Amino acid sequence: MRTLLNTLYVQTQGSYLRLENDNVRVDVEGARVAMLPLHHLDGVVVFGNVLISPYLIQRLGREHKPVTWLTESGRFTARTETPMSGNVLLRVAQHAASGDPARTLAVARYIAAGKLQNQKAALLRSARDAAEADQPILREAARDVNGQIGCLPLAGTVDEVRGIEGTAARAYFGAFSHTLRVNRDFFWLGERTRRPARDPINAVLNYAYTLLAGDCAGACQQVGLDPQVGFLHALRPGRASLALDLMEELRAVIADRAVITLINRSQLTPRDFILHAGGSVTISEDGRRTLIKHLQERKQETVKHSLTGRDTPLGLIAHVQARLLAQHLRGDRPHYPPYLHR
């Protein structure tokens, strides 16, 4: 298989990248930390305060290797447009696929399958750690989610896929509270509510999803996909549907897991939430900081990607998936392989 990731990611704040003898030279605080021959790279992604010399930007541009600038937290800001980028063909392929009901359905089905599979794995994982009384409830929910996976091949339209996904989500979130071991009287998820969140779990889940959606939008942009043209999510002005599609497989793995861990470790406690009159709940600034720090640390953890078999940092899974989707849309892959968490 073609090498999937030979993109250079620089997230060390204050690094300086420059061109030296057909190499990218990376300096941190005046000391050289890497010399990377250009022919190994197909692009450079920098986070936050990273300096790139104009000569390097121009050389990368001339060789059709895009530079992407993201904020330190990973939100997309800019990307170089190279003289002959595959963008237009990829985007045309993406738009053509989104206009073709059969292809849209196929992609949506794989995304949903990945999501349900990861939800099931997350429930079973929680069941292993849970108190004895909660274990059967979690296993039962995992069985229900698993049952919905079997229904996916029968779905004839994207709406039916969304319905199956919704049924599974009800089973998943119905059992969600049972994954928590502490502060149970405070943290209790009734139903998913957004804008405004009606209980603390919804508040913290919504915030984690926002961060994750930003990461996924950055991944789409970096690969050259149009983040607003999605498959599982309906098109709507201003909505990054494709970023939300990519996020589906990662919600249970990254966001939900982080919330469960933080609550169970008592790092998020009732004091981190503000209850407003009228029943809405928001997460306090301290609570947000705890969550962001945990998510950033979690992104450094490596997992073995189910398809490439490579050790990949969790934070790069969205980039890998965007690339795999791009390969499918261009016709290099017969179907889109979703990310399956072990």
Partner 1 sequence: MIDLLICYDVNTETSAGRKRLRRVAKVCVAHGQRVQNSVFEVSVNDVQLLALRDQLLREMDPSEDSVRIYRLRQPRDKFVEAFGRDGYRDLSAPLIL
Known binding-site residue numbers for Mn(2+): 165, 233, 248
Nearer to partner 1, 43 or 224 (CB): 43
Residues 24-43, mask of contacts with partner 1 (x by CB under 8 A): --x-x----xxxxx-xxx--
Say which residues have a Cβ less than 8 Å from residue 229's Cβ, sequence separation at least 6: 94, 95, 98, 235, 241, 242
Q: Contact with partner 1 (CB under 8 A): which of 98, 282, 312, 321? A: 312
Listed ranges 182-190, 213-221, 245-253, 309-317: which one lies at the site for partner 1 (CB under 8 A): 309-317
Element (H, E) at 200: helix 200-223
**DSSP code at position 65:** -
* Residues of span 250-279 touching partner 1 by CB under 8 A: none
Q: Is 11 in the site for partner 1 (CB under 8 A)?
A: yes
Total of residues contacting partner 1 (CB under 8 A): 28
> Closer to partner 1 at the Cβ: 8 or 180?
8
CB of 5: closest distance to partner 1 in angstroms? Answer: 5
Q: For residues 260 and 189, what is the distance between their CA atoms, to the nearest angstrom?
A: 12
In sequence order, what DSSP letters do the residues of 113-135 get, joined into one string? HHHHHHHHHHHHHHHHHS-TTTH
Residue placing its CB nearer to partner 1 in the complex, 49 or 210: 49
Task: Give the integer Cα–Cα distance in Å for 133 and 140.
Answer: 12
DSSP state string for 218-284: HHHHHHT--TT--SSSPP-TT--HHHHHHHHHHIIIIIIHHHHHHHHTTSS-GGGEEEPTTS-EEE-
Piece of 23-31, 91-99, 111-119, 269-277 that binds partner 1 (CB under 8 A): 23-31
Give the binding site for partner 1 (CB under 8 A).
3, 5-12, 15, 21-23, 26, 28, 33-37, 39-41, 310-313, 316
